[in-house]
Structures are given as structure tokens and as C-alpha cells.
């Protein structure tokens, strides 16, 4: 994998790609330009369809989201699936830990009826199925989950990105964004694929203890931060922006709070309800 990434980097840099991630300076044609305000569909259009299912992603795309968010878990047979929780209990009619179940076992369960009977027989999609469904026509905001149990998940993700030709120059336009709470995970990806834009998710205790030097440390490997909106203020956003970091808080479904976040200067946000951010399209 590392030899492959090195070869890709050589092609990128010898092709005259002057501005590589995490440096976003002067990238006026980039989706991740700090002047853009990005709307990220949290687990897809999860107010209108069961989270992390193909209908949820399709609805988000139809409604005009800039990105669809995909939480990644890894099965016992090393398959990457779209699921927030470490178990399948909440969003399927089955039970058990993802890391202890094979993909075949997970696929037998219904992941749609809990939301509405009209989604009966929907199941948990693999990352491969998502890429097959939407290809390069969609922007993906991928969160790596459960690092402790999902050993090797970063390598498997990079392998699939390679397989689907996402590790090429169009990445410079923000086609793929990867986020995680785990700094070690992000640094590993940055070392192997430094042109991939990374977002450092932040917990409350991290946000409350941010200093200029800590913002600068994050900027060494990431293009932005993902804080919970409740714990940030104008000073936090200003310091982050001055360091050159994007700010994409989660998860906001109230239009008043959306306006407040915009006034603070955030560069995007996560939402379950895409109608709260005045997108051009509305659900059917």
C-alpha cells in the first residue's frame, strides 16, 4: 500500500499539482475552499429515510447536499459497511456486534422497517455498494469509527479508494473527505496519502482546551475540525479560521442555530434535515 501511495504522489507532484492537501491556500476552484459553505447530509437525509441506507443517500443527493456522510464500521470478515453504531441492534431487526458478525450475517437483517414500513427489506450497504451506486458523481464525507476493534480499517479504506480511482487528481477538488476523532488514525492516513483532506472531530473537553498551538498542531495533518456546535463560540471559530482550518460543526436541525453558526463564521455543517439550510431542492 505504501509503495502504491508513493507512486500516486509522484504522479501528482510531477504533473504540476502545486497546492496539495492539507494546504488549502489559493485553491479557488476547490469545493473545500474556505469561502464555500458546505452542507453535509448526516447519515444521508436521515430525517426522510432510514440513516445509512441507499434511499437515505439518494434523498440527500436529490435535495442538493454537498456531501453525504458515511460512518464506517468493519465486519468480522473485513468488509466495510455504512453504520454509526458498533452493533446492529438499533437500526435493524437483528442484534450483535458488527466486529463479530460477517457481512452475510448482517445482510440478512432489515435496516429500514424501524424507520417506516415503506422501507422494509432495505439492508445495511457496504462502501463498495455505495460507490457502485453513485460513483464519482457524489462527494463523500467518510468517518472512520471504532478504531480499537476495527484493526486495519484505514488500509482497507485506502484500498477501496484506490480500486474506485478516488486516489487521483480529482481528490484535489474535495471528492473524498475523511474524518475521525482518533488523531493516530488520521495521522496514519496523512502519512500514506497526504493529499487526502482530513477532518479532526473534537470532543467537548478538547474544544474547551484549545490553544493556538493546538490548532496549529491539527493543521499539520488536517484541513479542518468537526466540533459539536453547542461547545463552540466566536473566539474558537476565529482562532481556527486564522490557523487556516475549516469548521464543520455537527449536527444542526434548527434553522435559527444554522443562522447563528453562519454568523460565527463556520464553513459548513452537518444536518439530518436538509430543509433547515435553504437548499434549492426540497423532498418530494
Distance from C-alpha of 166 to C-alpha of 162, rounded to nearest angstrom: 6
**Beta pairing partners, 180:** 200
- Written in H, E and C, the secondary structure of 44-92 is CCCCCCCCCCHHHHHHHHHCCCCEEEEEEEECCCCCEEECCCCECCCCC
Q: Is 120:110 a contact under the CB 8 Å cutoff?
A: yes
User: Is 42 part of the annotated catalytic residue set?
Assistant: yes
Region for 153 from its dihedrals, namely left if φ exceeds 0, alpha if ψ lies in -120 to 50, beta otherwise: alpha
Long-range Cβ contact pairs of 273-282 (< 8 A, separation 24 or more): 273/47, 274/39, 274/41, 274/45, 274/47, 274/60, 274/63, 274/64, 274/65, 275/63, 276/252, 277/39, 279/39, 279/63, 279/64, 279/65, 280/64, 281/62, 281/63, 281/64, 282/63
- Of 52, 84, 190, 248, which residue is the catalytic one? 84
Q: Is 270:40 a contact under the CB 8 Å cutoff?
A: yes
**Beta pairing partners, 238:** none
User: Is 228 part of the annotated catalytic residue set?
Assistant: no
**How far is CA 130 from each of CA 68, 171, 175, 216, 226, rounded to the nearest angstrom?**
11, 18, 14, 34, 23
- Of 42, 52, 190, 248, which residue is the catalytic one? 42
Distance from C-alpha of 75 to C-alpha of 87, rounded to nearest angstrom: 10
Distance from C-alpha of 51 to C-alpha of 69, rounded to nearest angstrom: 10
Question: Which residue numbers are catalytic?
Answer: 42, 84
Amino acid at each position: 500500500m505504501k509503495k502504491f501511495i508513493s507512486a500516486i504522489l509522484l504522479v501528482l507532484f510531477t504533473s504540476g499539482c502545486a497546492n496539495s492537501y492539507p494546504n488549502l491556500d489559493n485553491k479557488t476552484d476547490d469545493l473545500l475552499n474556505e469561502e464555500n459553505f458546505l452542507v453535509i447530509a448526516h447519515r444521508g437525509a436521515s430525517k426522510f429515510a432510514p440513516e445509512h441506507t441507499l434511499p437515505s443517500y439518494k434523498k440527500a443527493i436529490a435535495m442538493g447536499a454537498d456531501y453525504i456522510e458515511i460512518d464506517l464500521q468493519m465486519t468480522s470478515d473485513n468488509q466495510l459497511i455504512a453504520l454509526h453504531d458498533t452493533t446492529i441492534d438499533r437500526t435493524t431487526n437483528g442484534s450483535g456486534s458488527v466486529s463479530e458478525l460477517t457481512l452475510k450475517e448482517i445482510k440478512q437483517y432489515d435496516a429500514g422497517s424501524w424507520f417506516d414500513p415503506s422501507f422494509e427489506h432495505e439492508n445495511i450497504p457496504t462502501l463498495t455498494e455505495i460507490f457502485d451506486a453513485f460513483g464519482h458523481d457524489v462527494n463523500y464525507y467518510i468517518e472512520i469509527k471504532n478504531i480499537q476493534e476495527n484493526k486495519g480499517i484505514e488500509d482497507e479504506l485506502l484500498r477501496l479508494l484506490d480500486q474506485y480511482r478516488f486516489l487521483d487528481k480529482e481528490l484535489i477538488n474535495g471528492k473524498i473527505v475523511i474524518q475521525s476523532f482518533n488523531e493516530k488514525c488520521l495521522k496514519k492516513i496523512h502519512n500514506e496519502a497526504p493529499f487526502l483532506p482530513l477532518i479532526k472531530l473534537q470532543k467537548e473537553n478538547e474544544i474547551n482546551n484549545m490553544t493556538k498551538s493546538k490548532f496549529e498542531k491539527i493543521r499539520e495533518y488536517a484541513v479542518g475540525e468537526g466540533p459539536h456546535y453547542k461547545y463552540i463560540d466566536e473566539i474558537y471559530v476565529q482562532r481556527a479560521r486564522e490557523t487556516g482550518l475549516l469548521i464543520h460543526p455537527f449536527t444542526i436541525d434548527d434553522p435559527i442555530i444554522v443562522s447563528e453558526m453562519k454568523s460565527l463564521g463556520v464553513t459548513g455543517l452537518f444536518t439530518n434535515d436538509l430543509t433547515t439550510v435553504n437548499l434549492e431542492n426540497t423532498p418530494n
